[in-house]
């Protein structure tokens, strides 16, 4: 099976599973899944987040998701438990479609690593 087809199938399965678990079956989009990864990484599940905190959660998720690719490195947790990352390498200029594929690949890898999907 080609890598692209495998990624598409895994992505579809992941979206269905997350949507069922967190959105009563409404389909979650890429940004919503990135947000969920941020909440998972922060570990503060039952808190109401303000708009700027939601953006910070998405930033945490992107850093964590792109860490295996060598773009970021975990640095420390601050006094409130928020993780901080250091930029190791600037992201290359990618077209929107290429960005989406990279993030989907990183998200699928993240959930494979946690054994949420197989």
pLDDT for the residue numbered 105: 97
Give residues with Cβ within 8 angstroms of 29, minimum separation 6.
Answer: none
pLDDT surpassing 70 at residue 1: no
Phi, psi of 31 (to 5 degrees): -60, -40
Distance CA 99, CA 104 (A): 9
Q: Which residue carries 């599973």 as its tokens?
A: 17
Q: Which of the two residues, 60 and 4, has the higher pLDDT score?
A: 60
Q: What's the pLDDT tens digit per position in 62-114?
A: 999 999 999 999 999 999 999 999 999 998 898 989 999 999 999 999 999 99
112: left (phi over 0), alpha (psi -120 to 50) or beta: alpha
Give the chain's end-to-end CA distance (angstroms, integer). 15
Q: Write down the pTM of the prediction.
A: 0.92
pLDDT for the residue numbered 25: 77
> Can you spell out the DSSP letters for 48-105?
---HHHHHHHHHHHHHHHHGGGTSEEEEEE-TTS-EEEEESSPPPP--HHHHHHHHHH
Average pLDDT over residues 7-25: 94
């Amino acid at each position: 099976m080609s890598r692209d087809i495998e990624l598409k199938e895994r992505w579809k399965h992941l979206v269905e599973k997350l949507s069922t678990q967190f959105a009563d079956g409404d389909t979650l989009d890429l940004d919503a899944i990135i947000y969920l990864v941020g909440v998972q990484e922060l570990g503060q599940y039952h808190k109401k987040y303000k708009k700027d905190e939601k953006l910070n959660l998405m930033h945490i998720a992107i850093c964590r998701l792109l860490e295996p690719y060598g773009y970021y490195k975990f640095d420390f947790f601050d006094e409130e438990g928020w993780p901080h990352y250091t930029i190791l390498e600037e992201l290359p200029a990618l077209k929107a479609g290429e960005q989406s594929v990279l993030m989907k690949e990183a998200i699928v890898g993240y959930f494979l690593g946690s054994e949420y999907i197989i």
